[in-house]
Amino acid sequence: VNRPAIGIYPIELNPELAAISGLPVVSGIYLNDIIPRRSAAEAGLMKGDVIVAIDGEPVEDLPTLVRMLQSCLVGSEVLISYYRGKIFAETRMEILALPLPDVPLEPDRLAAAVQSSYSDDFKALRACFADLADTTCEMKSGLSWSAKEVLAHLIHTERDLHVAIQSALVDQTFTWTDNTSARVKATLAAFPTCAELIEELQRTQVETVAMLENLPQEFTTRKSSLWQLGYTVLTMKSHTQEHLSQIEIALQQS
């Protein structure tokens, strides 16, 4: 629970995005947005900055960033090397813990909290895709994923969350897996339009809420296990927000 989280919505920089943004580097972590009062914001980083190194070690992709953060202790400091436009700069950043959500310890209240979060995100999602052609949503511009591919990933995340809940109920360990292009392509084949993808995402979210509403009593009496599960589902919002931001920039550049 007490894990580091620096409060950014990151995108892997590539030559096309670098050219669009007028940057002198072609690899690194592009900060598509910053969360107020978190590590990055407190260190003075801003939307549009590109992190290129942490403590002198190059950061070229998201897996590298995640690995570096996982090795950090909450409360420690790291040296961030970054570009703001064409200007190179460095700053010290304290690694802060991910804020703890208020986790209800009753299945109905937990389900209601998750449903409320989904409703807010869904309004933003539908606003992104309003009146857009499917061909526009397939364009990648400077990003590694198109808006449609991001939707497919969100569907996969929700489906995997169902497995994570089931694993908690039967006392099995669950491990999140990396993205694969084969899975994304399969989902796009099954749901080829934006409307179909959005509807499928909403259906998977309905399933998540229903699973939480129907948690068995023998599980809910184990308050620590219930809290851990609640923590997992409620902190998924930061993952969704990250990808909503990614969808927005993909559509803006299309």
Q: What is the Cα–Cα distance from 19 to 234, expressed in whole angstroms? A: 37
* Phi, psi values for residue 50, rounded to 5°: -125, 115
Helix (H, G, I), strand (E, B), or coil: what is residue 198?
helix
Whole-number pLDDT of residue 134: 67
Q: What tokens were used for 216?
A: 């068995």
pLDDT at 249: 67
What is the per-residue pLDDT for 3? Answer: 64
Q: In order along the chain (254 residues), what is the average pLDDT of each group of 10 residues?
A: 75 86 92 88 95 95 86 91 96 87 92 91 79 67 73 94 96 86 94 92 96 96 93 84 72 62
Q: Which two tokens stand for residue 63?
A: 């897996």
Model-wide pTM > 0.85? no
From residue 249, alpha-carbon distances to 24, 27, 110, 143, 159 in Å are 20, 18, 32, 9, 25
> How far is Cα 43 from Cα 41, in angstroms, rounded to an integer?
5
Which residue, among 84, 89, 90, 27, has the nearest Cα to 59 in the 3D structure?
27
Q: What's the rounded Cα separation, in Å, for the pair 229 and 174?
A: 12
pLDDT for position 143: 56
The per-residue b/e assignment along 96-128, b for 16 or more CB within 10 angstroms, e otherwise, is: bebeeeebbeebeebbebbbebbeebeeebeeb
Q: Are 161 and 231 in contact (CB under 8 A)?
A: no
What's the pLDDT score for residue 2?
59
Task: Determine the Cα–Cα distance for residues 151 and 10; give it in Å rounded to an integer.
Answer: 17
Contact 241, 8 (CB under 8 A): no
pLDDT of the residue at 140: 61
